[in-house]
Structure 1
Amino acid sequence: MLEGLKIVEYATYVAAPGAAGIMRDWGADVIKVEPPGGDPIRLFFSSLGVDAETNPIFEMDNRGKRGIVLDTTKPEGRDALLKLIDRADIFITNVRPGGLKRAGLEPKSVLKRCPRLIYATLTGYGLEGPDADRPGMDAAAFWARSGLAAMFRPKGGDPIQLRTAFGDHVASLAIVSGVLAAVHERSTTGKGRLIDASLLRTAHYVGGSDLAIQHTRGRVASNRPRNAVPNPLVNTFRTSDDRWINLLMRQGDKDWPKIARAIGVDPLVSDPRFSSSRARRENAAALVSLLDAAVERFTYDEVTTALDREELVWAPILSPSEAVSDPQAIAAGCVVQTPTHEGGVFNAPAAPVRFPGADDGPKGPAPRFGEHTRAVLAELGYSDAEIDALYKSGAAV
């Protein structure tokens, strides 16, 4: 779908490289530019003191890209990057505004040089305001400062940490959507533009339902234990064979009789304590206790068969090991085989959208450090002697 689009990625870690990785799966030509020390996410496992033959985090977001190493603190390295940008449709970076300005790569000057360029920035906090230049990874800008960590915090408990790169990958989707909107705009105007994506703004959208309530009502419900939730029918339940299911009730009351019938507690529907949404909320602890006792009389297969018979909404709570081998996840295309440099393949998460009939999967392994530096510089018109000089000066690696 994106064959012919040329992307230069001058970014590290996950969110911005993840966006370029999605577009590479979809056919774009992506050149990843790393600093002399390499993308720090290459060191993820070694930083934890763990020996690992492969780094699936780096591989997932960088598969199929060509990788070069330039030292943009040196004029020759900066000039090489600008020559790459001259030929690109899209430039993606997560370098903070101050760093871009010091390198002479701030949006204003680059867009003046390349007016058709789509210049996409990913920052923690956006390009304006007092904290625009503050470092902000997803656990900080996306999770903590946005209010999400407080909303997920168990009432009376400690805040919980975000899972690895969770907010980053949500931001990747935001960057891709912004870039493709700008690609469409350029097709009619002939002009590129600046895209300002941030972890903070993405998080405000992700938490938008709660934050919309906060904006209008001045408060949101706390994250409560199972026996004190506002709607006890939207809950988790354990079966007799120690499996957990997540049960959801649609809006209104029409699902309540179906749930009661499925688990054999029909009389509760007419019980005054549970006959309305308000009554169920006020008597949540009692109702959850009764429902727990009812569900625990059934095996997983028995209760899920009954729920399906009533056409109710539920899902199993799977462990990560179960999730990656879930037959439905496989059928939905959630897992793809990523090539290795040695000629093999390994399973990895797919890009988030499938295009039936199209080649929308990995295009190759993630680049080794500096793997394509010499070849890409040659494509830019550098002679062998000029490339050797860049290596000798340390501007290229």
Structure 2
Amino acid sequence: MLENLEADFPEHKRRASGAPHALDGIRVVDFSHFIAAPLATMILADMGAEVIKVEAPVRGDDLRRYPPMHPQLDQGAPFVWSNRNKKSIALDLKSPQGLALARDLVCRADVLVENFSSGVMRRLGLDHETCLALNPRLVYCSVAAYSREGAFADRFGFDPIAQAESGFVSMNGYPDREGVRALSPVMDISTAMMVGNAVLGALLARERLGRGQRVEVSLFDTAVLMTGYATMQSLFTGKEPQRSGNTAPDTCPSGAFRASDLTFYINSGNDNIFQRLMGQVLERPDVAADADYATGPLRIRHRERLFAFLDEAFARHDWAHWQARMRAAGVPCGLVRTVGEAIRSPEARDHELVTRIPHPVLGWVPNVRLPIRYAATPMADPVAAPAVGQHTQEVLRDALGLDERQIAELERAGAFGPAAAAAAAAVPGPMDRDPVPAS
């Protein structure tokens, strides 16, 4: 597992020493789990915010157990992907001491992000009314499946459900079978991006208004947005979008074609691109001038005949031949790649999308960077996702100002879970040890 990292990917190049971060001085208390909200807080962490991830002792975020798990770690690949640059603190929120520490962190935070089921934060006394009363400058962001209030506040939801209920599944696949979901958690990822935008907007508003506010982002609402302009098309026409496989319903020719060696995709988004494809790439001005292909709607009407011509033409040469010609002609095209091919592609290497970063147990772990590039405030250097509770003492000491004795007392009282309390009880505290004789 994780073989060939050093051969396949370069070491991350550190940011300029002394360069500021976009979110320097912003503290985020992260009560989130699974994908959408944790990915959102990771975006904030990459921008330089201090993100304190509050986790249940021992077990932590359920995403830690999503496969493939690494045998030497308490986490798998999905958790590594979505939780870098965070500090993990293990608190037992069922204990009075653990809950009190969580409230203390909220009082000292700029942002709170949570995606518990509706009612959980209220039962804990960490609902938005209580937290904003404790800290009026707090940006309190809830990430809900459907809503925190209203008729659907009780509903659970995950990415595939949002894909199905939003209409997204119905749009994807081939017309002769049922629609298909995207394997990638596209609704979680887009929700994370929306949460990041929402939090940044609320922080900016706080500078003008002098106070924080409640923010909510819904997985379902985001999923409807992710159906794109199909919503507006449906409203205009009264018709449902039809599945079209790898072809595009509104541009032509757009789709997957096979060179003599590899499959690639082209997208002729307008008439000019079609003319360049036929005239410069394929050297067939007669086809470019064919009246049946004069406009997009006409090409769609005659798609079957046009695609048959293209299939035959592209099969005559390899991908390298066609790529060079299409790139020179300005025809959008690209290989149909696997994920492994994509992350090792020349484009990914040129952008340094995947690098390796140090890890205290494994030596190196891979890192997939965000697609944001700041000139004046470069993104934070990536630090590998933490173990459960890895930063508990550090956070309590640095964020809350507690000393070793206070932390030990909290541990024995069960603030960090029964296992930690039992372990602490078995070790003499500072006042219980025999005095050390003076030398």
Q: Same fold (TM over 0.5)?
A: yes
1:341-394, CA deviations, whole angstroms, 9 ceiling, x for partnerless residues? 247333221123011364414442211111122332234244545433433343
Deviates more, 1:323-332 or 1:285-294: 323-332
Shift of residue 269 of structure 1? 2.5
RMSD: 2.2
Say whether residues 1:325 and 2:344 are aligned partners.
Answer: yes
Write the letter of the residue equivalent to 2:357: T
C-alpha distance in structure 1 between counterparts of 2:346 and 2:283, whole Å: 30
Say whether residues 1:95 and 2:145 are aligned partners.
Answer: no
C-alpha distance in structure 1 between counterparts of 2:25 and 2:126, whole Å: 24
Kept in 2: contact 1:350–1:361 (CA 8 A):
no
- Partner residue of 2:220? 200
- Partner residue of 2:388? 369
C-alpha distance in structure 2 between counterparts of 1:100 and 1:191, whole Å: 21
Kept in 1: contact 2:117–2:156 (CA 8 A):
yes
Shift of residue 120 of structure 1? 0.9
Shift of residue 199 of structure 1? 1.1
Kept in 2: contact 1:10–1:94 (CA 8 A):
yes
DSSP 3-state at the match of 1:278: helix
Shift of residue 4 of structure 1? 0.8
Deviates more, 1:326-335 or 1:380-389: 380-389
Say whether residues 1:280 and 2:299 are aligned partners.
Answer: yes
Deviates more, 1:271-280 or 1:294-303: 271-280
1:147-176, CA deviations, whole angstroms, 9 ceiling, x for partnerless residues? 111111321313323324332122111111
- Partner residue of 1:353? 372
- Partner residue of 1:270? 289
Q: Which has the larger radius of gyration?
A: 2
Kept in 2: contact 1:247–1:315 (CA 8 A):
yes
- Partner residue of 1:254? 272
Write the letter of the residue equivalent to 2:388: F
C-alpha distance in structure 2 between counterparts of 1:134 and 1:62, whole Å: 26
Q: How does 1:63-212 map to 2 (within 5 A)?
A: 63-141=84-162, 143-212=163-232
Deviates more, 1:268-277 or 1:290-299: 268-277
- Partner residue of 1:43? 65
- Partner residue of 1:305? 324
Shift of residue 186 of structure 1? 0.7
C-alpha distance in structure 1 between counterparts of 2:123 and 2:294, whole Å: 65
C-alpha distance in structure 2 between counterparts of 1:154 and 1:306, whole Å: 30
- Partner residue of 1:32? 53
Q: How does 1:224-243 map to 2 (within 5 A)?
A: 224-226=244-246, 229-241=249-261, 243=262
Kept in 2: contact 1:67–1:367 (CA 8 A):
yes
Q: Provide closer, same or farther for how the CA distance between residues 228 and 127 of structure 1 changes in structure 2, counting only shifts above 3 A.
A: closer
DSSP 3-state at the match of 2:78: helix
- Partner residue of 2:310? 291
Q: Provide closer, same or farther for how the CA distance between residues 372 and 228 of structure 1 changes in structure 2, counting only shifts above 3 A.
A: closer
233, 238, 255: which one pairs with 1:213? 233
- Partner residue of 2:426? none
TM-score, normalization: structure 1?
A: 0.91
Deviates more, 1:336-345 or 1:203-212: 336-345
C-alpha distance in structure 2 between counterparts of 1:278 and 1:370, whole Å: 59
Shift of residue 230 of structure 1? 4.8
226, 234, 242: which one pairs with 1:222? 242
- Partner residue of 2:425? none
Shift of residue 210 of structure 1? 1.1
Q: Provide closer, same or farther for how the CA distance between residues 144 and 338 of structure 1 changes in structure 2, counting only shifts above 3 A.
A: farther
C-alpha distance in structure 1 between counterparts of 2:209 and 2:251, whole Å: 50
DSSP 3-state at the match of 1:273: helix
Write the letter of the residue equivalent to 1:77: G
The percent identity for this pair of structures is: 27
C-alpha distance in structure 2 between counterparts of 1:190 and 1:226, whole Å: 50
1:119-139, CA deviations, whole angstroms, 9 ceiling, x for partnerless residues? 111111122332223111111
DSSP 3-state at the match of 1:96: coil
325, 328, 333: which one pairs with 1:314? 333
Shift of residue 140 of structure 1? 1.3
DSSP 3-state at the match of 2:67: helix
Kept in 2: contact 1:226–1:232 (CA 8 A):
no
Shift of residue 223 of structure 1? 1.6
Q: Provide closer, same or farther for how the CA distance between residues 357 and 115 of structure 1 changes in structure 2, counting only shifts above 3 A.
A: closer
1:158-201, CA deviations, whole angstroms, 9 ceiling, x for partnerless residues? 33233243321221111111111111111111100111011112
C-alpha distance in structure 1 between counterparts of 2:358 and 2:141, whole Å: 28
Say whether residues 1:390 and 2:410 are aligned partners.
Answer: yes
C-alpha distance in structure 2 between counterparts of 1:228 and 1:107, whole Å: 44
C-alpha distance in structure 1 between counterparts of 2:249 and 2:209, whole Å: 51
Shift of residue 247 of structure 1? 0.9
- Partner residue of 2:8? none
DSSP 3-state at the match of 1:97: coil
Deviates more, 1:318-327 or 1:328-337: 328-337
Shift of residue 114 of structure 1? 1.0
Deviates more, 1:364-373 or 1:342-351: 342-351
Kept in 1: contact 2:357–2:365 (CA 8 A):
yes
TM-score, normalization: structure 2?
A: 0.83
